[in-house]
C-alpha cells in the first residue's frame, strides 16, 4: 500500500497562517493503514493545530471529515457542501487525494498534510519498508522476487556493487542489500545460474515515469 | 468528546453455549489430576500427551518429601483411575497443530504419532505441559557427577541393599545446590529428602548450598531431622570448585563458619558421588504451543507473564487455563494445588452450560474498518480476527439487518473480549466502539 | 588490437603492466594536473583519471584525460553510470575517442550521498556491466544502443572494469567478474588489497572460470600513510577489509608512511607471483609523488617501450 | 452424603482465603455464609501496603483489595462480622452451629464448614533481645507497611524524622527453636526485600541492611527481582542474624550487635531504625476453634486438615504458612473439594 | 487577578485509579478543587486524542492514573499508554505546551495516599506553570 508520514508541524502551521477556517480531510484507506492520515491522526492534527493557533491568539476553526477514499470522484463530491464553508483544505491523504480534491474544487486552496513516501510492505507493526517504484515494467521474475530498482540504492540490474558487506547496503547500514537477498533467495531456489546471465539495460521508455506521466485506459470498462 | 468512554447498547450480547468438553495439553500429574476431577463432574475430557506414556516429570520421582508413600505407585493408581474412567480419552504422541475460534467454538486440530489427525471442539483448554530438565554441564562428562533424578533411581533400586553406583560401593555423597535456577525450591527439597534416606543407609552426606530453600511446608522439620541424623550442611558465596581425583570427586568450598573472610581456609569434601540438580529450562514445545494458541510467554520462556492479576491459573485468553511446571517449576503439592484451582475455574466456567459476557465488549463498525490488522496484533487476549469471506463471516453491517452485505472487516468475538478498550484507542480509523 | 593503446600493447607483449591513479582538481587549475603527471611520467604505463570520485565535484574525467595526453602520458578515462544517462555516455565516447583517449574503465560509481551534492538526483540509467557492453557494441558492432543506427568510423576503446574481491557475497564475486568478461571487458582493476589470502582465493576462482585468459587482471594496491588512515578505511569504507596484522604493523612503526610504502612493495612482489595477475594498479590517493619510489623499490622500472 | 438439602456452607474467617473461597463457591451456585470475628472483612492482608518500585513487585496486596470489593458487591453471600462460632452439633452434611454476635446467639444449619481462620504476625515482643515494645524505633514489618499504606511515608516513631539507615532483621519468630516455631514462614524474605525496594524508590537516600539466614524465593520473577536488589548500591546483604539491639534513651538511635563477615568480627552497628520481619503463627482463637470442631494441629503447629468425609475443610495460611498468591490458589482448590463433597463424591 | 486554580483532568483506570480515589475519599485526604475525573476500564483505553482533547477543551494539566507495569489486568494497557503519552508529548512540544502538563502516575488499588499527594503536588506545579494558553475556553 501507499505509505506516508505526517509533515513537520511547523510547516503545516506556516502555510495555514493566513486562513482561519479550514477543512481537514483524512482518507480511510492507505494513510489509515499506515497511521499517517486516518481519522485518528487527522483528529490529533486538528486538535494540535487548534491549540497552537489558540496559543498565538489567532483561533483556527477546523471542520473534520474522513471519506473512505479520497481518490474517487464520488467521495470528493461528498465534501462539496463543506468546501463552500471553508477558506482552504488541509488534506492528510496521500498525494493522489490532495490532487483529486484540487481538481474537483479549483477555487479552493489546498495543502498536503503528509509526505507520501513509497509503496511499501509492513515488516512489523509500525515499521514499513519500500518495495516498489511503480516503474511500469516489472522485472521481478528475473531477480527471484526481490526488486533491485526499488530496494537497491543504485538500482543495479547486475549487482551487487562493491559496497555490500555482511548483507547490508553501505549507504544505509540498516537496509538489507537487495542483491544479497536476491543471491540468497536464488540460491535457495536453486536458480543461481540465472544470475550469471547479463540483464540488459532497462527500457525506461516502455511504461516508466521517464516516459512521462502515465495513463491506463480499459476501453471495455469505459462508461 | 473524551467523556463518552462507553456507549450503551440495547441488546445484550448473545450468550455462548458451552458443551462440557475440555482438552488438556500434557499428561503429567497435573494434567491427569485435572482430568480425573473434571471427569467425575461428567465432563468429556481429552488428554493430549506429547510422549507415549502418561506421568510427565514425575516419572523420575520415587519418594515424596512430606509423606512416606511411593510416587510411582501413587502415579500408577492415578493412571489406572484414568483408564477406568469412561469420560477420559487419552491421545498419545499428540501435537496441537492449530487452535482456531474462541470460547465455546474452539477448533483444536491434534495430530497423533500414529499419523491420525482429529479436530476437537472443546469449550475450555487446560495447558499442563510441565517443564523439562536438562543435565547441568558439570554432569556431561558422566564421571561421578550425577543429577538428582538419577540418584532418586539409584535409591529406589537399592531399597535396602547398600548403595552402589556402576558397581562401586557409594560411601560418601555431596549435594551441590543453587548452581543454576537459584529461585526454584525443588533441588533443595529433593536434596534434603535424599540426604535423610542416604543417612539411613549409612552413607556420609554433605549438602552445599548458597541459600537453603526451606520455604515449603514441612521442609524445615526435615532439615532439622537431617541435621540430627548427621548430614553436614555448608553455605557458600562463591560457587564450589569440583575436581576429579583418582578414586573420587572432591568439592572445595571456603568454610563460612570462620568469621573473618581472609582466615577462612578451603574445606575439601572428598566423596564418591556428587549430585547437582538438573537445570530447569522452558520446554521449547511450550513456546511453540504459545504461538499456536496465541498465549503470552513470560521471561525465560515460561507460559504467561508473572502478573498478579492472573492468579496463577488464568491465561490471557478466556477459556484457556494453565497449571503446574509450564508456568513455573514447583514441588508436587504446589502443582497439585494449582491443578485443583484450575478444576474449580473450569467448573465455574462450564456451570449452566452457557457463558454471557459481563464486561463491556468492543465492536467494529465494518464500513470504517480499513483491515489494517492493528487491533488484531495489539489485542492482548487474541479476541479479534479478520474472518474474510469464510462461511463463518455472517458479520453483517449493524445498520442493515438483512445480512446479505458481507464485510471483509475485523471482528471482535464477544466471548473472548475482556473490554479493556486497547483496540478502540489504537484503531487508526476510530472504527471500534466499546459497548457497555 | 582493440584500440592500440600503450596499456593494451604492454599487455599484448606480455609485460607486467603498471597503472596509477590521478584525481582531477576541484577547480579548473590545469597546473594541478601538470604537477601530478610530472610525478608519474615514465613510471607507469597509463594513469587512471577518476570521474567525480566519491561523488565529490571535480574537473570532468574527459577534459583531464585530454590534458594528460597533451602532457605526454596515456590516460585511462574512468566513467561512472551515476551521473550520465546513455545519451550523454555515448556522446562522451565519441568525444573521448576523438580526443585520442584509448582506455576506459566503466564503473557504477560511489552513491551521491557520500559526496558533496547530497540532494542531487542520481541517474543510474545503466550499470557498469551494461556500460561495458555498450562500449563493446559501439567498438565491435559499430552501432549505438538499440542497434539500428550505424556509426561511421571507429570508436575504439580498450575497455576496463573494476572488481572488489572483498565485498559480499564472496562466492558470487568471481562470477560477477566473469559476467563483465562476457559483457566484453578487456582488463579488470581490483579494489585495494590488504587481505592477501582472500585475494588469492578470489584469483583461484577466477582461474577456475577461465576468466584470466579472456581478461587482464590488475591487482589494486593502496599504500597506507598512517595507522589512523588504516583504521579509518577498515571501519568506514565498506568492502575493504584490513587484517589486524597490517594495522598493528602500521601502529608499531616509527614512521607510518615508510612502513606503508614497505608493505605496499611487499604486496606488489607477492601479487606478481599469483598466476593470472597481469599488472598492478597503484592508487596513491593524493600521494602521487611516491609512485616513483614504489615502482623503483618494487623493481618495476624501467617501463617497457612497446610498438 | 447430603440429602439434597439446601443448607449453606459456613466459612469461618473473612480474610483473603475465606473471601476467595466464598466467591468461588458462589460461582458454583453453592449458598454460602461467611462469618468474621473482627468488625470488618479483609483480615491481616487487607492492611498491607503496595510494595511497587519502578514496576509491580508482585506482592498481591492489591488483589486482596479487589477481592474485598468483589465480595462487598455480592449481596447473595450472607456476611456476618464480629461474629464467632460458639457451638457445633450434628454431622457431615447438616451441622447445627450456634453463632454469637454481640452476645446474641443464633442457630444455623450448614452443609459443610470451611475454616479460614488465618494467621497473626508473630508477637515480636516474644524476642526480648530485639526490644520490640520497649525501644520506640524497633518496629515490625507490619507497622512499617501500615505507615506506608495509611500515611504514605515512613518515619522514626521517636522523632518523626526519616530514618537514613534501616536494618531489616529476618526470621523473627520463624525457624526458631527457642520459641518452638520450627517452620519457615515463607513470606518474610520476599516482603522485606519488596518493602526495601519500595522505600528506596520513594526515598533514594535511605540505605537498608538486610540481615538474613537463607533468602527464600517467591514466584516466577523473583530471580530478576533478587538480582536487581543485589545490584542496588543502597542495599547491603549480611548473612547473620543479630544477637541484640541496644538504644540510647536520649537520642533513641539504635545499635545492633551482629557478626559482620566483611569486617570479620562481631560489631555494634548504628542504625536509625530496625524493622523485624515477623513470621506468622496460627491465629490465637483458632486453637479454641480447633477444639470446637475436633481439628488437630500438625507438627508445625498449624491446623491439620481433617478426614475427607467429615465435611470440614481447612484453607489458607491457618493450614500452613503461605503467601497471598498461594492462599488464593489453595482457597480455589478447597472450593472445588467442598463442591465435590456436596455432590456426594 | 484571582489566584489561578489549575483545572486538572484525571483519567482513572477502574482497576487502580478509582479504588485509590475511593480510599483517598474514605481517608478524607485533601484533593485539588478544580479536578475532573474520567473513569476508563483500563488506561489502555485512553486514546492519544483524548489527552489532547482534554487540554484543548480547558484542562491546564492532564494526569493518567494507571496500574504499575506487569500489574495490568489486561497485560498491555499501561504499556500501550506509555507510548501514546510519549507521542502526545511530542505533539505538545511542537505546539509549545510544557511537558509537565501531561503525566502518567502509577498507582495500585491501595495507594490512596500517593493518589492525593501526587494530585496536590501536580496542582502546585501547574499553579506555578500558569494557565494552558492553548485551551479553547
For residue A37, give the chain B residue with the closest CA: B428
**What pLDDT shows up at residue C207?**
94
B187 touches chain D (CB under 8 A): no
| B390 domain-assigned | yes
| B6 domain-assigned | no
Residue C7 dihedral angles phi and psi, to the nearest 5°? -60, -45
The last residue of one of the domains, among B280, B298, B318, is B280
Indicate if B160 and B248 belong to the same structural domain.
Answer: yes
User: Tens of pLDDT along B173-214?
Assistant: 999 998 888 888 988 999 999 999 888 888 899 999 998 999
| B367 domain-assigned | yes
**What pLDDT shows up at residue B93?**
93
Averaged over D18-31, what is the pLDDT?
Answer: 94
User: Tens of pLDDT along A22-44?
Assistant: 999 999 999 999 999 999 999 99
Statement: residue B396 has pLDDT above 60: no
User: Tens of pLDDT along E53-111?
Assistant: 999 998 999 999 999 999 999 999 999 999 999 999 999 999 999 999 999 999 999 88
| E3 domain-assigned | no
Residues ≥6 apart with Cβ < 8 Å to E124: none
Indicate if D289 and D265 belong to the same structural domain.
Answer: no
Q: Touching A: which chains, 3+ CB pairs < 8 A?
A: B, C, E
3-state secondary structure D147-186: HHHHHCCCCCCCCCCCCCEEEEEEEECCCEHHHCECCCCC
Averaged over D87-110, what is the pLDDT?
Answer: 89
**Strand ranges across the sheet with A127-132:** A2-6, A114-124, A127-132
Statement: residue A84 has pLDDT above 70: yes
Q: How high is the mean pLDDT of chain D?
A: 91
Indicate if B101 and B125 belong to the same structural domain.
Answer: yes
Statement: residue B141 has pLDDT above 90: no
**What pLDDT shows up at residue D234?**
93
The last residue of one of the domains, among B246, B264, B280, is B280
Contact between B220 and D326 using a beta-carbon 8 Å cutoff: no
Indicate if B25 and B124 belong to the same structural domain.
Answer: yes
Q: How far apart (Å, rounded) are the C-alpha atoms in residues D308 and D317?
A: 19
Respond yes or no on whether the N-terminal peptide bond of residue C169 is cis (omega within 30° of 0): yes
For residue E52, give the chain B residue with the closest CA: B2
Q: Label residue A65 by pLDDT band (50, 70, 90).
A: very high
Q: Which domain covers residue C169, as residue numbers?
A: 6-297
**What pLDDT shows up at residue B390?**
42
Whole-complex ipTM: 0.88
Structural domain count of chain E: 1
Q: Label residue B388 by pLDDT band (50, 70, 90).
A: low
- C259 and C249 in contact (C-beta within 8 Å)? yes
Q: How high is the mean pLDDT of chain A?
A: 93
**What pLDDT shows up at residue B389?**
44
Indicate if D138 and D274 belong to the same structural domain.
Answer: yes
**What pLDDT shows up at residue B160?**
77
Indicate if B21 and B123 belong to the same structural domain.
Answer: yes
Contact between E91 and A48 using a beta-carbon 8 Å cutoff: yes
Nearest C-alpha of chain B: how many angstroms from E85? 12
Q: Label residue A163 by pLDDT band (50, 70, 90).
A: confident
Indicate if B262 and B305 belong to the same structural domain.
Answer: no
Indicate if B303 and B259 belong to the same structural domain.
Answer: no
| D21 domain-assigned | yes
B228 touches chain D (CB under 8 A): no
Indicate if B351 and B387 belong to the same structural domain.
Answer: no
Contact between B5 and E84 using a beta-carbon 8 Å cutoff: no
Statement: residue C238 has pLDDT above 80: no
Nearest C-alpha of chain E: how many angstroms from B386? 21
Contact between B2 and E41 using a beta-carbon 8 Å cutoff: no
**What pLDDT shows up at residue B393?**
42
Nearest C-alpha of chain B: how many angstroms from A218? 27
| C63 domain-assigned | yes
Q: Looking at residue B396, which CATH number applies to its domain? A: 3.30.70.20
Which residue in the block uniquely carries the three cell numbers 516498489?
Answer: A132
E7 touches chain D (CB under 8 A): no
Question: Most E CBs within 10 Å: which of D56, D154, D228, as the mutation test of the E interface?
Answer: D56
**What pLDDT shows up at residue D4?**
53
Contact between B309 and E42 using a beta-carbon 8 Å cutoff: no
For residue E95, give the chain A residue with the closest CA: A52
Q: How many CB pairs under 8 A join D and E?
A: 50
| D59 domain-assigned | yes
Q: Which domain covers residue B331, as residue numbers?
A: 16-131+282-355
Indicate if D99 and D130 belong to the same structural domain.
Answer: no
**What pLDDT shows up at residue A63?**
95
Q: Which domain covers residue E57, as residue numbers?
A: 8-127
E–A contact (≥3 CB pairs within 8 Å)?
yes
Question: Would you mind telling me the total number of residues written for chain B in this entry?
Answer: 436
Question: Would you mind telling me the total number of residues written for chain D in this entry?
Answer: 345
Nearest C-alpha of chain A: how many angstroms from B98? 23
Share of chain B above pLDDT 90, in %: 39
Indicate if D175 and D245 belong to the same structural domain.
Answer: yes
The string of DSSP letters for B125-151 reads EEE----EEE--GGGGG-SSEE-HHHH
B4 touches chain E (CB under 8 A): no
Min mean pLDDT across A48-52, B63-67, D62-66 is at B63-67
Residues 49-88 of E with CB under 8 A from D: 67-71
| D135 domain-assigned | yes
B105 vs D74, residue with greater confidence: D74
Q: Using CA of residue B260, residue B261, residue B263, residue B264, what is the dihedral sign?
A: positive
User: Tens of pLDDT along C280-305?
Assistant: 999 988 888 899 999 999 999 888 88
Phi/psi region, residue A2 (left: phi>0; alpha: psi -120 to 50; beta: rest), is beta
User: Tens of pLDDT along D234-285?
Assistant: 999 998 899 999 988 888 899 999 988 777 888 999 999 999 999 999 988 8
| E135 domain-assigned | no
Q: Of A10, A40, A50, which is closest to E56 when you measure between CB atoms?
A: A50
| B292 domain-assigned | yes
Per-state percent for chain C, helix, strand, coil, to nearest 5? 45, 15, 40
Statement: residue B338 has pLDDT above 70: yes
Q: Looking at residue D32, which CATH number applies to its domain? A: 3.50.50.60
A50 touches chain B (CB under 8 A): no
Indicate if D127 and D256 belong to the same structural domain.
Answer: yes
User: Tens of pLDDT along D160-219?
Assistant: 999 999 999 999 999 988 998 889 999 999 999 999 999 999 999 999 999 999 999 988
B135 vs D313, residue with greater confidence: D313
The whole-angstrom distance between residue B336's C-alpha and the CA centroid of its chain comes to 11
Indicate if B269 and B140 belong to the same structural domain.
Answer: yes
3-state secondary structure C187-246: EEEEEECCCHHHHHHHHHHHHHCCHHHHCEEEEEECCCCCHHHHHHHHHHCCCCCCCHHH
Q: Looking at residue C47, which CATH number applies to its domain? A: 3.20.20.220
All domains in chain A, ordered by first residue: 2-117 (3.40.50.2300), 136-207 (no CATH)
Return the closest-CA partner of residue B38 out of B51, B20, B55, B52. B20
The string of DSSP letters for C98-113 reads HTT--EEEEE----GG
B110 touches chain A (CB under 8 A): no
> Is residue B100 classed as helix, strand or coil in its secondary structure?
strand
Structural domain count of chain C: 1
Indicate if D137 and D269 belong to the same structural domain.
Answer: yes
D141 vs B252, residue with greater confidence: D141
Residues 90-119 of A with CB under 8 A from C: none
> Is residue A133 classed as helix, strand or coil in its secondary structure?
coil
Indicate if B174 and B308 belong to the same structural domain.
Answer: no
Q: How far apart (Å, rounded) are the C-alpha atoms in residues D147 and D275?
A: 12
Indicate if D21 and D53 belong to the same structural domain.
Answer: yes
| C307 domain-assigned | no
Q: How high is the mean pLDDT of chain B?
A: 85
Q: How far apart (Å, rounded) are the C-alpha atoms in residues A40 and A24?
A: 12
Question: Most D CBs within 10 Å: which of B66, B344, B352, B359, as the mutation test of the D interface?
Answer: B344
A173 touches chain E (CB under 8 A): no
| E30 domain-assigned | yes
A171 touches chain C (CB under 8 A): yes
D341 touches chain E (CB under 8 A): no
Q: Which domain covers residue D72, as residue numbers?
A: 9-118+283-342
Q: Looking at residue E95, which CATH number applies to its domain? A: 3.40.50
Return the closest-CA partner of residue E63 out of E86, E35, E97, E42. E35
Min mean pLDDT across B144-158, B419-433, D11-25 is at B144-158
Statement: residue B415 has pLDDT above 70: yes
Indicate if B243 and B288 belong to the same structural domain.
Answer: no
Contact between D62 and E108 using a beta-carbon 8 Å cutoff: yes
| B7 domain-assigned | no
Q: Which residues of A touch E91 (CB under 8 A)?
A: 9, 44, 48
Nearest C-alpha of chain B: how many angstroms from D10? 18
Q: Which residues of E touch B421 (CB under 8 A)?
A: 40-42, 44-45
| E136 domain-assigned | no
Q: How far apart (Å, rounded) are the C-alpha atoms in residues E27 and A102?
A: 62
Statement: residue B397 has pLDDT above 70: no
Q: How many CB pairs under 8 A join A and B?
A: 35
The string of DSSP letters for D20-63 reads HHHHHHHHTT--EEEE-SSSSTTTGGGGPPP--SSS-----HHH
Contact between D300 and B217 using a beta-carbon 8 Å cutoff: yes
For residue B374, give the chain A residue with the closest CA: A125
**What pLDDT shows up at residue B89?**
93
Statement: residue B366 has pLDDT above 90: no
| D1 domain-assigned | no
Q: Which residues of A touch B372 (CB under 8 A)?
A: 32-33
Contact between C238 and A159 using a beta-carbon 8 Å cutoff: no
Statement: residue B35 has pLDDT above 60: yes
Q: Which residues of B touch E70 (CB under 8 A)?
A: 305-307
A66 touches chain B (CB under 8 A): yes
**What pLDDT shows up at residue B392?**
44
Q: Looking at residue B269, which CATH number applies to its domain? A: 3.50.50.60
**What pLDDT shows up at residue B2?**
60
Residue E108 dihedral angles phi and psi, to the nearest 5°? -125, 180
| E100 domain-assigned | yes
Return the closest-CA partner of residue D72 out of E19, C280, B92. E19
C–A contact (≥3 CB pairs within 8 Å)?
yes
Indicate if B98 and B152 belong to the same structural domain.
Answer: no
- A27 and B370 in contact (C-beta within 8 Å)? no
Helical (H) or strand (E) element with A32: helix A30-33
Report residue D281 as a C-alpha cell.
Answer: 503463627
Structural domain count of chain D: 2
**Strand ranges across the sheet with B248-254:** B241-245, B248-254, B266-271
Q: How far apart (Å, rounded) are the C-alpha atoms in residues A54 and A58?
A: 6
Contact between A32 and B370 using a beta-carbon 8 Å cutoff: yes
**What pLDDT shows up at residue D156?**
92
Residues 6-65 of A with CB under 8 A from E: 9-10, 40, 43-44, 47-48, 50-52, 54-55, 59
The last residue of one of the domains, among B355, B377, B401, is B355
Amino acid at each position: 500500500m501507499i505509505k506516508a508520514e505526517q509533515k513537520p508541524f511547523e510547516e503545516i502551521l506556516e502555510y495555514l497562517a493566513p486562513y482561519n477556517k479550514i477543512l481537514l480531510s483524512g482518507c480511510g484507506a492507505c494513510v489509515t493503514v499506515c497511521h499517517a492520515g486516518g481519522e485518528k491522526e487527522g483528529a490529533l492534527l486538528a486538535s494540535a493545530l487548534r491549540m497552537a493557533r489558540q496559543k498565538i491568539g489567532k483561533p483556527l476553526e477546523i471542520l473534520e471529515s474522513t471519506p473512505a477514499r479520497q481518490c474517487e470522484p464520488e467521495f470528493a463530491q461528498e465534501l462539496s457542501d463543506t468546501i463552500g464553508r471553508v477558506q482552504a483544505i488541509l488534506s492528510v491523504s496521500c498525494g493522489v487525494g490532495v490532487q483529486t480534491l484540487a481538481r474537483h474544487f479549483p477555487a479552493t486552496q489546498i495543502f498536503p498534510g503528509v509526505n507520501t513516501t513509497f509503496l511499501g510492505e509492513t515488516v512489523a507493526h509500525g515499521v514499513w519498508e519500500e518495495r516498489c517504484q511503480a516503474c511500469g515494467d516489472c522485472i521481478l521474475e528475473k531477480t527471484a522476487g526481490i526488486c533491485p530498482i526499488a530496494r537497491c540504492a543504485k538500482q543495479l540490474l547486475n549487482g551487487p556493487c562493491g559496497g555490500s558487506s555482511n548483507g547490508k547496503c553501505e549507504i544505509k547500514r540498516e537496509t538489507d542489500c537487495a542483491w544479497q537477498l536476491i543471491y540468497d533467495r536464488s540460491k535457495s531456489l536453486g536458480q543461481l545460474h540465472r544470475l550469471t546471465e547479463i540483464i540488459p539495460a532497462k527500457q525506461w521508455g516502455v511504461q516508466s515515469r521517464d516516459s512521462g506521466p502515465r495513463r491506463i485506459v480499459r476501453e471495455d470498462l469505459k462508461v | 468528546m473524551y467523556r463518552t468512554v462507553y456507549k450503551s447498547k440495547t441488546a445484550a450480547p448473545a450468550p455462548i453455549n458451552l458443551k462440557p468438553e475440555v482438552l488438556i495439553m500434557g499428561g503429567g500429574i497435573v494434567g491427569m489430576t485435572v482430568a480425573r476431577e473434571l471427569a467425575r463432574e461428567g465432563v468429556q475430557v481429552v488428554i493430549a500427551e506429547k510422549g507415549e506414556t502418561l506421568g510427565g516429570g514425575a516419572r523420575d520421582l520415587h519418594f515424596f518429601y512430606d509423606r512416606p508413600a511411593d510416587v510411582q505407585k501413587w502415579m500408577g493408581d492415578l493412571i489406572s483411575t484414568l483408564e477406568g474412567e469412561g469420560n477420559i480419552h487419552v491421545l498419545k504422541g499428540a501435537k496441537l497443530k492449530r487452535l482456531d475460534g474462541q470460547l465455546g467454538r474452539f477448533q483444536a486440530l491434534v495430530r497423533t504419532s500414529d499419523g491420525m489427525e482429529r479436530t476437537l471442539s472443546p469449550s475450555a483448554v487446560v495447558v499442563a505441559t510441565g517443564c523439562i530438565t536438562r543435565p547441568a554441564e558439570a554432569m556431561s562428562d558422566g564421571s561421578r557427577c550425577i543429577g538428582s533424578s538419577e540418584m532418586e533411581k539409584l535409591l529406589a533400586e537399592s531399597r535396602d541393599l547398600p548403595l552402589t553406583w556402576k558397581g562401586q560401593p557409594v560411601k560418601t555423597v555431596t549435594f551441590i545446590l543453587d548452581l543454576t535456577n537459584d529461585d526454584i525450591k525443588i533441588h533443595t527439597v529433593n536434596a534434603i529428602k535424599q540426604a535423610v534416606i542416604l543417612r539411613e543407609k549409612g552413607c556420609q552426606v554433605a549438602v552445599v548450598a548458597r541459600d537453603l530453600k526451606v520455604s515449603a511446608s514441612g521442609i524445615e522439620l526435615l532439615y532439622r531431622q537431617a541435621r540430627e541424623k548427621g548430614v553436614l550442611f555448608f553455605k557458600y558465596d562463591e560457587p564450589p570448585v569440583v575436581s576429579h581425583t583418582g578414586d573420587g570427586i572432591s568439592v572445595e568450598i571456603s568454610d563460612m563458619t570462620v568469621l573473618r573472610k581472609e582466615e577462612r581456609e578451603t574445606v575439601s569434601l572428598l566423596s564418591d558421588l556428587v549430585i547437582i540438580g538438573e537445570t530447569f529450562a522452558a520446554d521449547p514445545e511450550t513456546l511453540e504451543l504459545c504461538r499456536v494458541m496465541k498465549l503470552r510467554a513470560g521471561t525465560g520462556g515460561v507460559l504467561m507473564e508473572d502478573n498478579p492479576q492472573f492468579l496463577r491459573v488464568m491465561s490471557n485468553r478466556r477459556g484457556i487455563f494453565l497449571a503446574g511446571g509450564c508456568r513455573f517449576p514447583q514441588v508436587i503439592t504446589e502443582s497439585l494445588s494449582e491443578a485443583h484451582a484450575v478444576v474449580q475455574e473450569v467448573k465455574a466456567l462450564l456451570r449452566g452450560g452457557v457463558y454471557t459476557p459481563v464486561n463491556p465488549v468492543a465492536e467494529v463498525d465494518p464500513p470504517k474498518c480499513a483491515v489494517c490488522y492493528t487491533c488484531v496484533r495489539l489485542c492482548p487476549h487474541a479476541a479479534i480476527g479478520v474472518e474474510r469471506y469464510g462461511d463463518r463471516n455472517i458479520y453483517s453491517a449493524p445498520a442493515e439487518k438483512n445480512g446479505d452485505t458481507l464485510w471483509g472487516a475485523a471482528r471482535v468475538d464477544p466471548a473472548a473480549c475482556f473490554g479493556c478498550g486497547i483496540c478502540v484507542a489504537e484503531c487508526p480509523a476510530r472504527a471500534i466502539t466499546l459497548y457497555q | 588490437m582493440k584500440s592500440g593503446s600503450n596499456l593494451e600493447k604492454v599487455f599484448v607483449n606480455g609485460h607486467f603492466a603498471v597503472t596509477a591513479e590521478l584525481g582531477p582538481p576541484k577547480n579548473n587549475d590545469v597546473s594541478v594536473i601538470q604537477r601530478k603527471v610530472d610525478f608519474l611520467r615514465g613510471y607507469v604505463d597509463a594513469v587512471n583519471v577518476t570521474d567525480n570520485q566519491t561523488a565529490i565535484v571535480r574537473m570532468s574525467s574527459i577534459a583531464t584525460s585530454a590534458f594528460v595526453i597533451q602532457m605526454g602520458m596515456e590516460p585511462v578515462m574512468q566513467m561512472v553510470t551515476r551521473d550520465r544517462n546513455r545519451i550523454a555516455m555515448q556522446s562522451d565516447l565519441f568525444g573521448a575517442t576523438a580526443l585520442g583517449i584509448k582506455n576506459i574503465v566503466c564503473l557504477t560509481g560511489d552513491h551521491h550521498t557520500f559526496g558533496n551534492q547530497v540532494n542531487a538526483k542520481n541517474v543510474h540509467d545503466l550499470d557498469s556491466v551494461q556500460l561495458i557492453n555498450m562500449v563493446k557494441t559501439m567498438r565491435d558492432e559499430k552501432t549505438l544502443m538499440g542497434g539500428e543506427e550505424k556509426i561511421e568510423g571507429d570508436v575504439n576503446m580498450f575497455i576496463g572494469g573494476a572488481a572488489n574481491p572483498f565485498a559480499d557475497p564472496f562466492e558470487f564475486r568471481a562470477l560477477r567478474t566473469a559476467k563483465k568478461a562476457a559483457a566484453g571487458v578487456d582488463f579488470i582493476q581490483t579494489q585495494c588489497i590488504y587481505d592477501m589470502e582472500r585475494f588469492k582465493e578470489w584469483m583461484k576462482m577466477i582461474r577456475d572460470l577461465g576468466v584470466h585468459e579472456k581478461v587482464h587482471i590488475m591487482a589494486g594496491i593502496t599504500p597506507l600513510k598512517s595507522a589512523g588512515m588504516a583504521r579509518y578505511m577498515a571501519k568506514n569504507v565498506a568492502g575493504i577489509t584490513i587484517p589486524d596484522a597490517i594495522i598493528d604493523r602500521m601502529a608499531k612503526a616509527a614512521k607510518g608512511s615508510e612502513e606503508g610504502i614497505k608493505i605496499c612493495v611487499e604486496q606488489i612482489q607477492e601479487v606478481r607471483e599469483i598466476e593470472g595477475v597481469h599488472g598492478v594498479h597503484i592508487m596513491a590517493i593524493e600521494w602521487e609523488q611516491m609512485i616513483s619510489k614504489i615502482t623503483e623499490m618494487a623493481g618495476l622500472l624501467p617501463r617497457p617501450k612497446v610498438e | 452424603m447430603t440429602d439434597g438439602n439446601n443448607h449453606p456452607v459456613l466459612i469461618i474467617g473473612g480474610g483473603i482465603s475465606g473471601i476467595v473461597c466464598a466467591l468461588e463457591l458462589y460461582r458454583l451456585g453453592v449458598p454460602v455464609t461467611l462469618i468474621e470475628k473482627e468488625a470488618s472483612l479483609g483480615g491481616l492482608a487487607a492492611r498491607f501496603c503496595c510494595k511497587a518500585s519502578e514496576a509491580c513487585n508482585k506482592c498481591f496486596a492489591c488483589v486482596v483489595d479487589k477481592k474485598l470489593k468483589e465480595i462487598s458487591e455480592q449481596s447473595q453471600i450472607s456476611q456476618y462480622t464480629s461474629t464467632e462460632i460458639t457451638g457445633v452439633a450434628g454431622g457431615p452434611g447438616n451441622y447445627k452451629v450456634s453463632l454469637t454476635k454481640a452476645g446474641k446467639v443464633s442457630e444455623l444449619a450448614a452443609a459443610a464448614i470451611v475454616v479460614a481462620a488465618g494467621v497473626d504476625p508473630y508477637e515480636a515482643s516474644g524476642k526480648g533481645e530485639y526490644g520490640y515494645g520497649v525501644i520506640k524505633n524497633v518496629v515490625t514489618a507490619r507497622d512499617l507497611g501500615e505507615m506506608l499504606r495509611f500515611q504514605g511515608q515512613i518515619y522514626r516513631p521517636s522523632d518523626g524524622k526519616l530514618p537514613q539507615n534501616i536494618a531489616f532483621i529476618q526470621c523473627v519468630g520463624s525457624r526458631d527453636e527457642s520459641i518452638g516455631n520450627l517452620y519457615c514462614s515463607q513470606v518474610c524474605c520476599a516482603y522485606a526485600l519488596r518493602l526495601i525496594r519500595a522505600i528506596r524508590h520513594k526515598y533514594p537516600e535511605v540505605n537498608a541492611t538486610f540481615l538474613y539466614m537463607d533468602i527464600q524465593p517467591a514466584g516466577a520473577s523473583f530471580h530478576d527481582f533478587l538480582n536487581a536488589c543485589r545490584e542496588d548500591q543502597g542495599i547491603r546483604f549480611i548473612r547473620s542474624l543479630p544477637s541484640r539491639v541496644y538504644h540510647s534513651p536520649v537520642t533513641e538511635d539504635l545499635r545492633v550487635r551482629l557478626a559482620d563477615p566483611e569486617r570479620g568480627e562481631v560489631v555494634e552497628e548504628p542504625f536509625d531504625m530496625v524493622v523485624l520481619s515477623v513470621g506468622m503463627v496460627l491465629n490465637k482463637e483458632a486453637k479454641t476453634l480447633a477444639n470446637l470442631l475436633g481439628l488437630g494441629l500438625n507438627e508445625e503447629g498449624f491446623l491439620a486438615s481433617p478426614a475427607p468425609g467429615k465435611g470440614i475443610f481447612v484453607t489458607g495460611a491457618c493450614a500452613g504458612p503461605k503467601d497471598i498468591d498461594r492462599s488464593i490458589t489453595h482457597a480455589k482448590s478447597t472450593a472445588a473439594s467442598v463442591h465435590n463433597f456436596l455432590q456426594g463424591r | 487577578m484571582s489566584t489561578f486554580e489549575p483545572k486538572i483532568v484525571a483519567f482513572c483506570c477502574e482497576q487502580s485509579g478509582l479504588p485509590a480515589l475511593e480510599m483517598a475519599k474514605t481517608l478524607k485526604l485533601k484533593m485539588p478543587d478544580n479536578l475532573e475525573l474520567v473513569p476508563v476500564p483500563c488506561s489502555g483505553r485512553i486514546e492519544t486524542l483524548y489527552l489532547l482533547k482534554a487540554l484543548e477543551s480547558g484542562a491546564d494539566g492532564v494526569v493518567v492514573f494507571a496500574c504499575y507495569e506487569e500489574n495490568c489486568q489486561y497485560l498491555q494497557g499501561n504499556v500501550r499508554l506509555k507510548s501514546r503519552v510519549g507521542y502526545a508529548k511530542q505533539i505538545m512540544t511542537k505546539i509549545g505546551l510544557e511537558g509537565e502538563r501531561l503525566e502518567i502516575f502509577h498507582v495500585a488499588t491501595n495507594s490512596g495516599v500517593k493518589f492525593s499527594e501526587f494530585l496536590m503536588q501536580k496542582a502546585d506545579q501547574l499553579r506555578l506553570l500558569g494557565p494552558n494558553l492553548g485551551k479553547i475556553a
